Amino acid sequence: MIEAKEFVEAARELGFSRYTGVPCSFLTPFINYVINDDTLEYVSSANEGDALATAAGAAIGGQRSVVMMQNSGLGNAVSPITSLSYVFRIPNLIISTHRGQPGVKDEPQHELMGQITKELFDTMCVPWEIFPSKSEDIAPALQRADEYMQKEQRPYAFIMEKGTVAPQALHKNPVQDISQRKSLVRSSHNPGAQAINRNNALQRIIEHTPEENTVLIATTGFTGRELFAVDDRVQPSLYGRFYGLRFFIRSRHCISQI
């Protein structure tokens, strides 16, 4: 295990002072360290493609960037990597976490991407190596990445495994204090309503969705897990096929077109 400072400062010596990306728990130490340092810059992105586009713009302007992402979002980066960075020779250092790494217990939605992450980088013609987990391996790894990017002017990737970087505290909050805003309850239907947490909100949704002929769909992550914990129903069959813009949902008793 290494400290975030060791890698970030070694990368700074090679000119990397800008970081863009989408958060992942594996990357939290890096994100916190960069935010803590006013001489470094972290641009939080809405998706991985945006992160690469931001880094590409910085590279064109002469600033070297590190693009950080979870491998589950690597699919969002395929187009900018293959049609922008590769074609126009824009070098960026990519750090992709390895969620769903074979042999390591993780959430089910990461299973397939965990199996194909390395092959996906190969398919995109992006050289990669495992992110260094020892202090003495950092400089040589960065040197290999730097030499490739200097020569080919194309991206190079590190795949970060779980437990590679030690925790790093966040010493300053980049978001304006929202404590007062959190106490406000805005409702056009019920001005006297009280704020509720996610668990209560999910329970209310379930109360208003009868089990018969109702399919509840949630995002992966905490919302989906909590919905499962609140009420693990036997759901009707769900079959979906895309025919142009038509999507069919078939329940026990009806077929509806959306």
The model's pLDDT over 39-84, given as tens digits with 9 standing for 90+, comes to 999 999 999 999 999 999 999 999 999 999 999 999 999 999 999 9
What sign results for the dihedral spanned by CA atoms 11, 154, 160, 36? positive
Cα distances from 257 to residues 123, 213, 214, 235, 240, in angstroms, run: 37, 14, 14, 19, 10
Binned at pLDDT 50, 70 and 90, residue 257 comes out as very low
Residue 187: what pLDDT? 54
Residue 176: what pLDDT? 62
- Summarize the chain as % helix, strand, coil (round to 5): 40, 15, 40
178 CB neighbour count, 10 Å cutoff:
10
- Model pLDDT for residues 99-140, shown as the tens digit of each residue: 999 999 888 888 999 999 999 999 999 999 999 999 999 999
Domain residues for 104?
4-160
251 vs 220 pLDDT, higher one = 220
In terms of pTM, does the model score above 0.85?
no
Residue 248: what pLDDT? 37
Do 24 and 135 share a domain, yes or no?
yes
What sign results for the dihedral spanned by CA atoms 142, 9, 114, 130? positive
Residue 117: what pLDDT? 96
**Pairs from 133-141 (Cβ < 8 Å, separation ≥ 24):** 133/1, 133/2, 133/161, 133/164, 134/2, 135/2, 135/3, 135/6, 138/2, 138/6, 138/7, 138/10, 139/10
Please give the single-letter amino acid code of residue 93: L
Residue 225: what pLDDT? 80
What sign results for the dihedral spanned by CA atoms 7, 12, 13, 16? positive
CB 67 within 8 A of CB 44: no
CB 19 within 8 A of CB 93: no
CA dist 17 and 51 (Å) reads: 15
Do 57 and 120 share a domain, yes or no?
yes
Name the domain boundary from 103, 133, 160: 160
Binned at pLDDT 50, 70 and 90, residue 236 comes out as low
Residue 107: what pLDDT? 84
Do 146 and 233 share a domain, yes or no?
no
Do 8 and 125 share a domain, yes or no?
yes
Mean pLDDT of the chain: 83
- Does residue 173 belong to any structural domain of this protein? no
Mean pLDDT value of segment 20-32 = 91
- Model pLDDT for residues 28-51, shown as the tens digit of each residue: 999 999 999 999 999 999 999 999
Residue 242: what pLDDT? 35
Domain count of the chain? 2
